[in-house]
Amino acid sequence: IQEDHKLSASELEEKYGTSTNKGLSSARAAEILARDGPNSLTPPKATPEIVKFLKQMVGGFSILLWIGAAFSWISFGIQFAQGAESPFDNLYLGVVLALVVILTGIFAYYQEAKSTNIMASFSKMIPQQALVIRDAEKKELPAEELVVGDIVEIKGGDRIPADIRLIFTQGCKVDNSSLTGESEPQSRSCDFTHENPLETKNIAFYSTTCVEGTATGIVINTGDRTVIGRIASLASGVGNEKTPIAIEIEHFVYLVAGVAISIGVLFFIISVSMRYKILDSIIFLIGIIVANVPEGLLATVTVSLSLTAKRMAKKNCLVKNLEAVETLGSTSVICSDKTGTLTQNRMTVAHLWFDNQIYSADTSEDQTTQPFDQTSSTWTALSKIVTLCNRAEFRPGQENLPIMKRIVVGDASETALLKFTEVILGDVMSIRARNKKVAEIPFNSTNKFQLSIHETDDPNDKRFLLVMKGAPERILERCSTIMINGKEEPLDSEKAEAFQTAYMELGGMGERVLGFCHLYLPENEFPDTYPFDTDSMNFPTSNLCFVGLLSMIDPPRSTVPDAVSKCRSAGIKVIMVTGDHPITAKAIAKSVGIISATSETVEDIAKRLNIPVEQVNRREATAAVVNGMELKDMSLQQLDEILCNHSEIVFARTSPQQKLIIVEGCQRQGAVVAVTGDGVNDSPALKKADIGIAMGIAGSDAAKNAADMVLLDDNFASIVTGVEEGRLIFDNLKKTIAYTLTKNIAELCPFLIYIIASIPLPIGTITILFIDLGTDIIPSVALAYEKAESDIMNRRPRNKRRDRLVNEQLAVYSYLQIGIMQSVGAFVTYFTVYAEQGFLPSTLLGVRVNWESNAINDFEDSYGQEWTKYQRMYLQWTGYTAFFVSITIQQVADLIIRKTRRNSIFQQGLFRNKVIWVGIFSQIAIASILTYGLGHVTALNFTPLRFQYWFVAVPFAILIWVYDEVRKLLIRRYPGSWWDKNMYY
């Protein structure tokens, strides 16, 4: 690299064996590629996998479980040293706890690895492309395949694909900020300006971006040999700061851990003061911790989030960061681009004016016919002009594509006209062939018209036809007649007036208007051998016949108005930020509903009341169209005022820097801001936004890198889908957590009552783990598939400071109401089992010490029968199994009630979410397998339970359902009441 900037283009050609016109041959390129390797940086050494893995082992609830495991081992050690009877129970428990932590750790690690893979596949999905000249042809190649000596072309918005020595530039500027930190774009030229390769202007560096202009250059370094590769300090991106959902999860973990530790310590103290042995108290403590920690929940949350991410990807929202899924749901302001996002990003003929009448054309995405009246012969004349006076052409070989999808060579308005006529008339190219062009003056900014002269396709008509299109006022100047219903009529002032009205009306709709006129040249003056000369213009260009107007606009996507109104009802403010003209911006804003039909801007009010703009009360105007020029002179307070006072805002003629200012302004109002962008210059705004959304088709790489989400179809409506999904997942996570927390009480109460009332232990620690990590897992994931309750897009976005994922109501309702009901149900089952086996409830109180004594082998039950230790243990395991089964049965009811938070289950539909039923069946199947299949494996403490005991808790399950239905009914009946405030979570 040291010398390359000093060499001339021809010396470089020689050095790299290439040619600026033809580029390398494919074979040669393949050779070099094999020699040098792909043009990509060796990824920086990431955090060692083992460190990542270990991090998963200590995060979240893992610490609590490790403590539990450690306590188990300690008590094992003590018991073993004392030579107690069955010390190995505690050893096993410790091993199981450790296994649980390790397994959930492995799962979390795997999930993370998978999402990293998603990121990797994401970057593959939108690979950087480079325009390369090879084998004398321009080719789009993945940037990875570039080799030294390739000739590449760069244009504004591209990332420089390798270190490049420039050999041709046109207004080229690059943003070297990632390399040098200079934030100002640097201009580039072909000249050697500095000894230092880093300073000279004729080298563009890998990974920097071209901001504007175009350039061509020779690749001089690739991959790790590029300057940035050698410095190897690729800004690895912003550190992983916490997203809203991460904060919520952390809050939840703290809450549950707090509850677990305080109850654990409290009962440790109680049991010590009740003269339990310290060792026993420690074992109780382990049980309490295990009962309190929802072991499977964090894994469930990850799975739910990634399910949503997948669902969103199907709907064209590619989420780069799992947690961004939820951030989108809390969005309260969307700052949207106009072009391409709200609109189709292609000029389309929207209106026509001929025969003194305005006709509307179909502007939808998939038009195949045009509905307006085409019988008038004026239209025939107009269509001929539109067809002939047009230089745009379809690329060959696209005959099978729908017309709207074909690629056209030509500028935007000519493309629009070409497609328009192709739709109506069919094969335009053959029409043009039949009307051979004999002369042409292309459009230029001084003439403001385009003209061509054709032979006609009528073999009897030897006249030439002169057709012209251009700025309407210029065209009208050149006309003396106007065609009405196929007849030429003199252009009097009345007709000119009608033209003006139509022109103003179309222009006022923000549309680009073109005028069309023609003239049949008299055959005697212009015989078919007449030498037309476009320089001297030896043909008439005035006194033509005016035929009509066509107006074009980049029309809104058909899905956008609906999406905007959805946003509106969802309490999301949609702000349009565009570089376009205010009139066009306003017209599009009105047609998509960003400015609603009834609302007025200050200017509208002034016009209606016929008073100067200054006298209008600004508060009356709900809408505002702010020009970039005005914005430049505004103070922050003024901007805040606008953002505050107007609900419908359009920013027009804004620069990318101003976009950033607008985003910051919205964030000052406490909004969660989503920003869409496609250009390189949008990346600061995308980064600044709470969620940056890049366009997948039109977006530049820089924008995609800065964004959190990529819209694969560039469609605004997809954002709204994303918002809906984000809100849904927030609600569903609430439901999942509520579902999971409930049974913790039913798992905890046995320990507390065991300690206080000294009954035989109702449920074992291992059995609890089988609930948390067995029966409950699939149902809690199933809640992620729950459909939205009807109001999801009709409520305000969540306030990230007030509306927590796990709020007081959720915890209290789950723990202290439903959880208690479950415990009662489970205890009734427990007492039933013991009573029917011979131990009536009264005999169970206070028996713990004798019950657990190994020396007592003639323990007498209520009927006088005597039980050995093992027989008692077996009965105790039967009790565990019964308790487990009744929790499972009641969790089915819990799962059903958690489907909704406000609506009745019957409104929501019991069977709409099929996955819930998969969950219910899995729950029952797992429980059956554990009791009947593994009932003979002693270590698991399950026994084959009598079939009847499955039904003891059913009345309580029904009670839970009924109680929750009553709760929801009262919430719906009395919104805002004491009940609503305390019972709605």
Out of 708, 724, 725, 964, the only residue in the binding site for other proteins (CB under 8 A) is 708
Decide: helix, strand or coil at residue 174.
strand
Tokens of 232: 């190897």
Tokens of 803: 């509306």
Of 14 and 250, the one with the shorter C-beta distance to other proteins is 250
Binding flag, residue 938, other proteins (CB under 8 A) = yes
CB-CB contact of 579 with 554 (8 Å):
no
Binding flag, residue 137, other proteins (CB under 8 A) = no
Tokens of 170: 């046109």
Q: How far is the CB of 808 from other proteins (least distance, A)?
A: 7
Query: Rg of the chain's alpha carbons, rounded to an integer?
Result: 38
DSSP conformational letter for 929 = I
Q: How far is the CB of 91 from other proteins (least distance, A)?
A: 18
Of 76 and 834, the one with the shorter C-beta distance to other proteins is 834
Of 867 and 883, the one with the shorter C-beta distance to other proteins is 867
Which stretch, 307-315, 363-371, 534-542, 833-841, contacts other proteins (CB under 8 A)?
Answer: 833-841
CA distances from 805 to 130, 327, 734, 762 (A): 45, 13, 6, 32
Q: How far is the CB of 850 from other proteins (least distance, A)?
A: 13
Binding flag, residue 27, other proteins (CB under 8 A) = no
Catalytic residue among 4, 150, 175, 337: 337
Computed from CA positions of residues 916, 919, 923, 924, in that sequence, does the dihedral angle turn out positive or negative? Answer: positive
Of 629 and 816, the one with the shorter C-beta distance to other proteins is 816
Q: How far is the CB of 77 from other proteins (least distance, A)?
A: 24
Binding flag, residue 820, other proteins (CB under 8 A) = yes
Q: How far is the CB of 252 from other proteins (least distance, A)?
A: 15
Binding flag, residue 540, other proteins (CB under 8 A) = no
Residues 196-225 that bind other proteins (CB under 8 A): none
Burial class for 609, CB neighbours closer than 10 Å (0-12, 13-18, 19+): exposed
Pairing of strands 357-360, 348-354: antiparallel
Tokens of 522: 């008299």
Binding flag, residue 628, other proteins (CB under 8 A) = no
Of 502 and 673, the one with the shorter C-beta distance to other proteins is 673
Binding flag, residue 824, other proteins (CB under 8 A) = yes
Pairing of strands 464-470, 449-455: antiparallel
Which stretch, 521-529, 654-662, 737-745, 812-820, contacts other proteins (CB under 8 A)?
Answer: 812-820
Computed from CA positions of residues 600, 604, 606, 607, in that sequence, does the dihedral angle turn out positive or negative? Answer: negative
* CA 779/CA 355 separation, integer angstroms: 68
Out of 94, 296, 665, 692, the only residue in the binding site for other proteins (CB under 8 A) is 692
Catalogue the E-assigned strands of 522-586: 544-553, 573-577
Binding flag, residue 689, other proteins (CB under 8 A) = yes
Of 596 and 817, the one with the shorter C-beta distance to other proteins is 817
Of 756 and 816, the one with the shorter C-beta distance to other proteins is 816
Residues 781-810 that bind other proteins (CB under 8 A): 800, 808
Q: How far is the CB of 681 from other proteins (least distance, A)?
A: 18
| Amino acid identity at 449 | F
Out of 827, 884, 950, 984, the only residue in the binding site for other proteins (CB under 8 A) is 827
Which stretch, 55-63, 484-492, 508-516, 817-825, contacts other proteins (CB under 8 A)?
Answer: 817-825
Q: How far is the CB of 431 from other proteins (least distance, A)?
A: 53
Catalogue the E-assigned strands of 589-647: 623-627
CB-CB contact of 703 with 678 (8 Å):
yes
Residues 227-256 that bind other proteins (CB under 8 A): 238, 241-244, 247
| Amino acid identity at 298 | L
Tokens of 353: 């004016």
Whether 366 sits among the annotated catalytic residues: the reply is no
Q: How far is the CB of 629 from other proteins (least distance, A)?
A: 28
Catalogue the E-assigned strands of 814-945: 859-860, 866-867
Q: How far is the CB of 865 from other proteins (least distance, A)?
A: 5
Nearest to residue 642, comparing CAs of 731, 711, 704, 577? 577
Tokens of 497: 């007036």
Q: How far is the CB of 843 from other proteins (least distance, A)?
A: 11
Out of 781, 821, 892, 971, the only residue in the binding site for other proteins (CB under 8 A) is 821
Binding flag, residue 878, other proteins (CB under 8 A) = yes
Q: How far is the CB of 698 from other proteins (least distance, A)?
A: 21
Binding flag, residue 690, other proteins (CB under 8 A) = yes
* CA 40/CA 789 separation, integer angstroms: 48
DSSP secondary structure, 31-48, as one string: HHHHHH--SSPPPP--S-
Of 94 and 692, the one with the shorter C-beta distance to other proteins is 692
Binding flag, residue 192, other proteins (CB under 8 A) = no
Out of 828, 847, 905, 970, the only residue in the binding site for other proteins (CB under 8 A) is 828
Q: How far is the CB of 922 from other proteins (least distance, A)?
A: 27
**Residue tagged 């493309």 (tokens):** 415
Please, which residues have CB within 8 angstroms of residue 685's CB and are 6 or more apart in sequence?
Answer: 335, 656, 659, 660, 663, 675, 677, 692
Out of 438, 835, 915, 970, the only residue in the binding site for other proteins (CB under 8 A) is 835
- How many residues bind other proteins (CB under 8 A)? The answer is 57
Residues 837-876 that bind other proteins (CB under 8 A): 837-838, 840-841, 855, 857-858, 860-871, 874-875
Which stretch, 102-110, 282-290, 687-695, 736-744, contacts other proteins (CB under 8 A)?
Answer: 687-695
Q: Contact letters (x/-) for other proteins, 952-971, by CB under 8 A? A: -------x------------
Please, which residues have CB within 8 angstroms of residue 176's CB and are 6 or more apart in sequence?
Answer: 182, 186, 205, 208
Residues 646-685 that bind other proteins (CB under 8 A): 667
Binding flag, residue 324, other proteins (CB under 8 A) = yes
Of 327 and 767, the one with the shorter C-beta distance to other proteins is 327
* CA 584/CA 552 separation, integer angstroms: 11
Of 220 and 660, the one with the shorter C-beta distance to other proteins is 660
Of 6 and 946, the one with the shorter C-beta distance to other proteins is 946
Q: How far is the CB of 177 from other proteins (least distance, A)?
A: 19
Tokens of 288: 């309490």
Nearest to residue 519, comparing CAs of 548, 543, 549? 543
Of 186 and 807, the one with the shorter C-beta distance to other proteins is 807
CA distances from 142 to 44, 117, 130, 208, 428 (A): 21, 20, 6, 17, 36
DSSP secondary structure, 736-789, as one string: HHHHHHHHHHHHHHHHHHHHHH-PPPSS-HHHHHHIIIIITHHHHHHGGGPPPP
Helix (H) or strand (E) holding 144: none
CB-CB contact of 361 with 424 (8 Å):
no
Binding flag, residue 811, other proteins (CB under 8 A) = no
Out of 836, 910, 921, 939, the only residue in the binding site for other proteins (CB under 8 A) is 836
Please, which residues have CB within 8 angstroms of residue 593's CB and are 6 or more apart in sequence?
Answer: 561, 564, 565, 568
Facing residues of 860 across strands?
Answer: 866
Binding flag, residue 568, other proteins (CB under 8 A) = no
Of 392 and 812, the one with the shorter C-beta distance to other proteins is 812
Pairing of strands 648-652, 573-577: parallel
**Which positions are annotated as active-site residues?**
337
Per CB under 8 A, residues contacting other proteins are 238, 241-244, 247, 321, 324, 327, 667, 687-692, 708, 800, 808, 816-817, 820-821, 824, 827-828, 831-832, 835-838, 840-841, 855, 857-858, 860-871, 874-875, 878, 938, 946, 959, 978, 982
